[in-house]
Chain A
Amino acid sequence: MIRAAIALFLAVLAVPAHAIDIQDVTSPGGIKAWLVQDDSIPFVAVQFSFKGGASLDAEGKRGAINLMTATLEEGAGNRDSVAFAQAVEGLGAQFSFDVGDDALTVGMRALNENRDEAAALLAEALTQPRFDDDAIERVRAQVQSIIRSEATDPQSIAAKEMARQAWGDHPYATSINGTMDSVAALTRQDLVAAKNRVLARDRVVVGAAGDITPEELGQLLDTVLGGLPEQGTAPLPQPADLQLTGGVTVIDWDSPQTVVSFAGPGLAIDDPDYFAAFVANHILGGGGFSSRLMEEIREKRGLTYGVGTTLATGVYGQTWQGGMAGSNATTGQAVDLIRQEWDRMAEGGVTDQELNDAKTYLTGEYPLRFDGNGSIAGILAGMQLIGFPIDYVNTRNEKVEAVTAEDVKRVVGRLLDADDLRFVLVGRPEGIAGTDPAPTN
């Protein structure tokens, strides 16, 4: 019964998913945005993403853009921290300010009934932040507390060591939070300079979804972004060269489990073989319970609660990476299995059954992401950040469908080699030793 049903559904799947209508909007002031208009719920979600993000920190000012971002909501114009937050809450609006390696992202949800007031408040935060001394000190203490807490978190310890080994002099090599010392030294003037490096109209992309017309969105864009400088004071980041070498790094950590982090060479999202690698990753370790690594390490042997891989396609540098946690006693065995699976795929590629199942998943899953104003606004901004064309949404599944077993074989032959994999192990792993001196922390 079930088998028959699956065959039927696979047949249905050949029909393309329903098209998503994205409008290209330009404001009277010349600011561009992508919009999916939907009037079923009386609010709009907008995501503003500024390219470069924390990778635009100035030399010696690591952590400035992160601290600046966290202080944007701490008062603007004639309102201090408390008054500003009260004004936002009084409208029922929601703002978010986040920054990562590739972008600084500002999110907004506003009700139709007071959307203009909400936009005006957000504009104040972006163009007239106060950066009051007491607010800076308070947020600085919070950031420093996060830095110290990451120093006792094995996942963070592993991630930081992997980034350090991977990215050399590039900002990707260090945490966007900065260090205790670099954050301690930041001044109000540094925050103002940080803001001018990244918050500018020449590097912003906007996605919007919800109950708003293109004309209304145009006005909102001019309100929120019109007061920003035309150009940022820092050029966009340069691409990073991957410095990673194969081997094992062990960092001693007193815990019943070892955190296992591993990474090797990846590829850019505009690489001709990207979709072949995307399919291969799903089969290797991206596909949850269905992946080869999950099958070998969790399902057959119970060595972990979860293991997975991902193509980390940063705008400025890429890896093919993964992670898991498991008992110290069996870490050596788990690492051996990961290396075996890495080479098994490099040598043998994937079966037709695996390829077909992966394509069905990846094409079927894609339309499910567009399930609300908030998610759509985020996807639209994300696509522009990467540089995708506006019709990408409706052509992307064809690119997945076009991947052949030969394509997969070619790309895994090029990228997967267990000897190129770097493992960072944080714990007291047994059955495996570091291949080079432990890093000093």
Chain B
Amino acid sequence: MLRPTLPALLALTLGAMPVLAETTTPENNGITHFTLPNGLETVVIQDHRAPVVVQIVWYRIGSADEPPGKSGIAHYLEHLMFKGTDKLEPGELSKTVTANGGMDNAFTSYDYTAYFQRIASDRLSLVMEMEADRMANLRIGEDDWQAERQVVLEERAQRVDSDPGSLFAEERYATLYYNHPYGRPVIGWRAEMEGLTREDALEWYDNHYSPNEAILILAGDVTPERARELAEQYYGPIPAKGEAEPRIRPQEPTQRSPRRMEMSDPRVPQPVMSRSYIAPERNPGDQADAAALTVLAELLGGSMQTSILGRELAMQGKALWVNAGYDGFSVDPTSFGISLVPADGMTPEDAEAELDKVLARFLETGPDPADLDRVKTQIEAARVYKLDSAHGRAYDYGQGLATGLSVQDVNDWPDSLAAVTADDVMRVARTVLDSKASVTGWLLPAEPAPAAAEAPASTDTPSPEVQG
């Protein structure tokens, strides 16, 4: 039951009439939204500064929708989507895009699978024709599926098996979620990946690749009129495969036991702590908690010099690096992460105790009003800088719609951030930072390896997206 709900119906009604004047108002920053009769939601983001356009088709299906025992099938199919149709030879889509000066790729996450091309705007119809073709007419040859399974296994070997940080992240997430499939890696568990077949992939494709389960984002040098004309021409004729399924996954029970984990590996140069708490996600019409968590992450770890953890730990010589991260684009509850690398001479135990002291003090005193003001100023500035990248905005709308938000929700997000108060921050901080639904992991050098460190990535989620 995807969304013949009120906003979509309104958009459909409006879209059928010449309402395009609205696209020129500054309030919507050049965003137009319509839905084709077959259920394909389309968002057009206008930016005519350069003769470039990006097409991204997002399917509302990801690794968290996989049946037990078939982990990795969403990502494996993403790879196989390049293996041709009745009209396209294996690899021809990418070769054609490249031969026309464009680039293309695809990525898979917990909640979505997406395919994109970036190309000169006078060649938009070419890539729309090919993308529409593989939405309906995928063919997977006997020879291709086995070599490609080997490719995804090599991808896993490169991204995960060769990197102790990735291996540990996989296990931490498997531990954070008792029951929800977010506990499974997007790329899949190796033993299950080895058993995936062409039949599994085709079944996945037949069940989930349909215009009413997809979102089309066109960003850059294209008008809404032209976008609609091309969308109707190429995607319009593809019939929906029945009603879209509601995305009901196993949910987390109440968690009562904070967990601790430790992994040692000789390839780890220096101890790194990663702590994750289950946290609420952005929801349609209800993004206040997610906005407050976004501000909380900035206040705690946004800057090494001025954030709370930066000032109290990094600037005081207790940690080399600190980070706090949160991303609210998620169908089901997501996670809030904190990571740190102890300074030379600090034991992991002492560094973690210092971190907990700072967090406890913050929960008592709340944010400094000047800190909150500065974070808000940066958020306002980011709103302007964001307009410099149509490609970046395409991701915002695509991720939003693919995780159940409306265009209005995505439009409203900067205002939701601007509206966050100190009380909001404290409300979510108390809920999340005191939560027992958490995992604290230490990744340690195997004795007697010498100490050294790696900067924690911007967040500590395990490869949230896997590029094709």
* Given A90-B377, A152-B269, A367:B51 Cβ within 8 A: yes
Does chain B have a CB within 8 A of A399?
Answer: no
* Given A152-B268, A289-B91, A365:B303 Cβ within 8 A: no
Q: B367-410: which residues lie under 8 A (CB-CB) from chain A?
A: 370, 373-375, 377-378, 380-382, 384-385, 387-391
Which residue of chain A has its CB nearest to the CB of B90?
A299
Q: Which stretch from B7-15, B99-107, B284-292 is at the chain A interface? A: B99-107
Q: How far is the CB of A220 from chain B (nearest CB, A)?
A: 18
Asked whether, in the complex, the Cβ of B381 is within 8 Å of the Cβ of A9, the reply is no
Does chain A have a CB within 8 A of B87?
Answer: yes
Asked whether, in the complex, the Cβ of A42 is within 8 Å of the Cβ of B320, the reply is no
Asked whether, in the complex, the Cβ of B157 is within 8 Å of the Cβ of A257, the reply is yes
Asked whether, in the complex, the Cβ of B452 is within 8 Å of the Cβ of A12, the reply is no
Asked whether, in the complex, the Cβ of B151 is within 8 Å of the Cβ of A302, the reply is yes
* Given A81-B315, A138-B317, A361:B99 Cβ within 8 A: yes
- Residue with the greatest number of chain A CB neighbours at <10 A, chosen from B82, B162, B375: B162
Q: How far is the CB of B448 from chain A (nearest CB, A)?
A: 14
Asked whether, in the complex, the Cβ of B453 is within 8 Å of the Cβ of A299, the reply is no
Which residue of chain A has its CB nearest to the CB of B370?
A86
- Residue with the greatest number of chain B CB neighbours at <10 A, chosen from A42, A91, A301, A365: A365
Q: How large is the interface on A (under 10, 10 to 19, 20 to 34, 35 or more residues)?
A: 35 or more
* Given A82-B315, A327-B157, A361-B98, A300:B384 Cβ within 8 A: no
Q: How far is the CB of B157 from chain A (nearest CB, A)?
A: 5
Does chain B have a CB within 8 A of A364?
Answer: yes
Asked whether, in the complex, the Cβ of A325 is within 8 Å of the Cβ of B158, the reply is yes
Does chain A have a CB within 8 A of B148?
Answer: yes
Q: How far is the CA of A362 from the CA of B100 in the complex (A)?
A: 9
Which residue of chain B has its CB nearest to the CB of A357?
B99
What A residues does B158 contact at CB under 8 A? 257, 304-305, 325
Asked whether, in the complex, the Cβ of A371 is within 8 Å of the Cβ of B391, the reply is yes
Does chain A have a CB within 8 A of B354?
Answer: no
Q: Number of residue pairs across A and B with beta carbons under 8 Å?
A: 234
Asked whether, in the complex, the Cβ of B314 is within 8 Å of the Cβ of A138, the reply is yes
Q: Which stretch from A140-148, A158-166, A261-269, A409-417 is at the chain B interface? A: A140-148
Asked whether, in the complex, the Cβ of A327 is within 8 Å of the Cβ of B455, the reply is no
Asked whether, in the complex, the Cβ of A81 is within 8 Å of the Cβ of B305, the reply is yes
Does chain B have a CB within 8 A of A317?
Answer: no
Q: How far is the CA of A175 from the CA of B454 in the complex (A)?
A: 17
Does chain B have a CB within 8 A of A151?
Answer: yes
Does chain B have a CB within 8 A of A363?
Answer: yes
What A residues does B153 contact at CB under 8 A? 302
| Per-residue B-contact encoding for A234-256, CB less than 8 Å = 1, 0 else | 00000000000000000000111
* Given A5-B125, A300-B147, A149:B269 Cβ within 8 A: yes
Number of B residues, CB within 8 Å of A: 85
Asked whether, in the complex, the Cβ of A305 is within 8 Å of the Cβ of B155, the reply is yes
Asked whether, in the complex, the Cβ of B306 is within 8 Å of the Cβ of A148, the reply is no
Asked whether, in the complex, the Cβ of A367 is within 8 Å of the Cβ of B151, the reply is no
Q: Which stretch from B64-72, B116-124, B198-206, B357-365 is at the chain A interface? A: B116-124
Asked whether, in the complex, the Cβ of A85 is within 8 Å of the Cβ of B306, the reply is yes
Does chain A have a CB within 8 A of B226?
Answer: no
* Given A12-B122, A82-B315, A257:B102 Cβ within 8 A: no
Asked whether, in the complex, the Cβ of A288 is within 8 Å of the Cβ of B94, the reply is yes
What B residues does A9 contact at CB under 8 A? 100, 122-123, 126
* Given A2-B87, A368-B50, A148:B390 Cβ within 8 A: no
What A residues does B270 contact at CB under 8 A? 145, 148-149
Contact partner of B94 (CB less than 8 A), chosen from A41, A92, A289, A325, is: A289
Asked whether, in the complex, the Cβ of B377 is within 8 Å of the Cβ of A17, the reply is no
Q: How far is the CA of A109 from the CA of B383 in the complex (A)?
A: 13
Q: How far is the CA of A99 from the CA of B68 in the complex (A)?
A: 48
Does chain B have a CB within 8 A of A125?
Answer: no
Asked whether, in the complex, the Cβ of B50 is within 8 Å of the Cβ of A145, the reply is no
Does chain A have a CB within 8 A of B52?
Answer: yes
Asked whether, in the complex, the Cβ of B95 is within 8 Å of the Cβ of A289, the reply is yes
Asked whether, in the complex, the Cβ of B88 is within 8 Å of the Cβ of A2, the reply is yes
* Given A81-B305, A141-B320, A371-B52, A5:B129 Cβ within 8 A: yes
* Given A141-B320, A149-B269, A302-B154, A290:B94 Cβ within 8 A: yes
Which residue of chain A has its CB nearest to the CB of B153?
A302
| Per-residue B-contact encoding for A1-34, CB less than 8 Å = 1, 0 else | 1100110011011000110000000000000000
What B residues does A81 contact at CB under 8 A? 305, 315
Does chain A have a CB within 8 A of B161?
Answer: yes
Does chain B have a CB within 8 A of A40?
Answer: yes
What A residues does B150 contact at CB under 8 A? 301-303
What B residues does A305 contact at CB under 8 A? 151-152, 154-155, 158-159
Does chain A have a CB within 8 A of B220?
Answer: yes
Does chain A have a CB within 8 A of B256?
Answer: no
What A residues does B454 contact at CB under 8 A? 145-146, 149
Q: A114-144: which residues lie under 8 A (CB-CB) from chain B?
A: 134, 137-138, 141-142, 144
Which residue of chain B has its CB nearest to the CB of A154?
B162
* Given A85-B305, A290-B94, A92:B161 Cβ within 8 A: no
What A residues does B103 contact at CB under 8 A? 288, 365
What A residues does B450 contact at CB under 8 A? 148
Asked whether, in the complex, the Cβ of B91 is within 8 Å of the Cβ of A371, the reply is no
What A residues does B100 contact at CB under 8 A? 6, 9-10, 13, 360-361, 364
Does chain B have a CB within 8 A of A45?
Answer: yes
Contact partner of A360 (CB less than 8 A), chosen from B51, B91, B101, B152, is: B101
Sample of 5 A–B contacts (CB below 8 Å): A86-B305, A134-B317, A364-B123, A371-B50, A371-B52
Known: A92-B377, A287-B98, A298-B151. 18 other contacts (CB 8 A): A2-B133, A6-B99, A9-B123, A40-B49, A45-B388, A82-B315, A111-B384, A142-B321, A145-B453, A256-B162, A288-B94, A299-B147, A302-B149, A302-B154, A304-B158, A305-B159, A361-B99, A364-B120
**Across chains A and B, which 10 residue pairs bring their CB atoms closest together, nearest first?**
A364-B101, A148-B452, A92-B381, A302-B150, A145-B453, A85-B305, A305-B155, A302-B147, A289-B94, A149-B454
Chain A residues within 8 Å of B, Cβ to Cβ: 1-2, 5-6, 9-10, 12-13, 17-18, 38, 40-43, 45, 74, 81-82, 84-86, 89-94, 109, 111, 134, 137-138, 141-142, 144-149, 151-152, 154, 254-257, 287-290, 295, 298-305, 325-327, 357, 360-368, 370-374
